[in-house]
Amino acid sequence: MSQKKVWFITGCSTGFGRELANKLIQQQYPVVITARNPESLSELAQGREDQVLALKLDVTDKQQIQKAVSAAQEKFGRIDVLVNNAGIGYFASVEESVEEETRNMFEINFWGLMHATNAVLPLMRKQKSGHIINFSSIGGLTSFPTLGYYHATKYAVEGVSESLAQEVAESGIRVSIIEPSGFRTDWGGRSSVKTQTSIPEYENTVGRMLSGIGQSAGQEAGDPAKAAEALIHIAELDTPPLRLLLGKAAYQAATYKFTNLLSSIEEWKETTINADFPQQS
C-alpha cells in the first residue's frame, strides 16, 4: 500500500461524502467509506478492494462505529484523516418543531460525530498524528429562520471542535471545521425532514423559507467536487485551518455577521467593561 494518508469518511452514500470518496479513490488514497446502506457504496469499492474498505455504519450506533474503526485499523494499520460528514437537516419554526425529530438530528449531527471522534482519538494519540475534519455549516456561525434546531446542532459542533483542537494539539492531532453554504448535495431534499408551518404568524418567515428551499434544490451555487478538492488540500497541510468556509454565500454571510457583531460589541463596550468589580489602583 502507498504511504498516502488513510482516510475514514462517514456518510458516503451521497453528497459531500460520496464526492470526497470519489476524489480520494481517483488519487489513489487508501480510504474507508461508510454508509447506513453499504450497497450504495458497491460501485465505489468494486475492483478496488486493496485500496477501499466499504463498511455499513449508522453513526447513531456506537458499537458499529467501534467495529468500523477496528476494521479500518486491521486493514490499513492506521487512520490519518477522519471526516465526520454524516448529517441531516430539519426545517420548521422553533415553536412548531417536533421534539422527536430534533432529538434524532442531534443524535446524528452531534452525538454521531462525537462517537466517531472518540473512537478514533486513541489511535491518533498513539500515532501522535491525525486530522479530524468535522462538517459544520455556515449555519454553525450564523442563523436563519426555519433552521433553529439545525443551527443548534452545528453550533454545538463548532464549540466542541474548537475545544478539542486545543486539547489534542500537543499530541500532533489537528482539527478543522468545515462551513459550507448551499451546495448541490441534496441536503434540502432526501437528507432532511420538514415540518410545515401552520401558525399564520410564521408564514412570511418560515413558510417563505420552506418554499424557497424547495425551489432552489439542485440549483445551489456550491460545487461538491471543488469542496472535496479543498478538503484534500487542507489535509495535506502541516498547519490546516481550524475553520474553512466553503462557497461565496458562506463568505458573505460570515463577514456580515461578524462585522455587525464587532460593531455591536464596540457600541456596548462601556456597559460590558463596567460589569466588573472596580480595579484596585
**What residues act catalytically?**
136, 150, 154
Pure H helices in the chain:
15-26, 42-45, 62-76, 99-106, 113-127, 148-168, 208-216, 224-235, 248-267, 269-273
**Cα 145 off chain centre by:** 20
Instruction: Tell me the sheet residues that pair with 147.
Output: 92
CA pair distance 145, 97, nearest whole angstrom: 12
- Cβ neighbours of residue 91 under 8 Å, at least 6 residues apart? 146, 147, 150, 188, 192, 193, 194, 195, 209, 210, 213
| Burial of 36: CB neighbours in 10 Å, binned 0-12, 13-18, 19+ | middle
Report whether 142 contacts 254 (CB < 8 A).
Answer: yes
C-alpha cell at 62: 456506537
CA pair distance 267, 229, nearest whole angstrom: 41
CA pair distance 167, 6, nearest whole angstrom: 23
Instruction: With H, G, I as helix, E, B as strand and everything else as coil, classify residue 7.
Output: strand
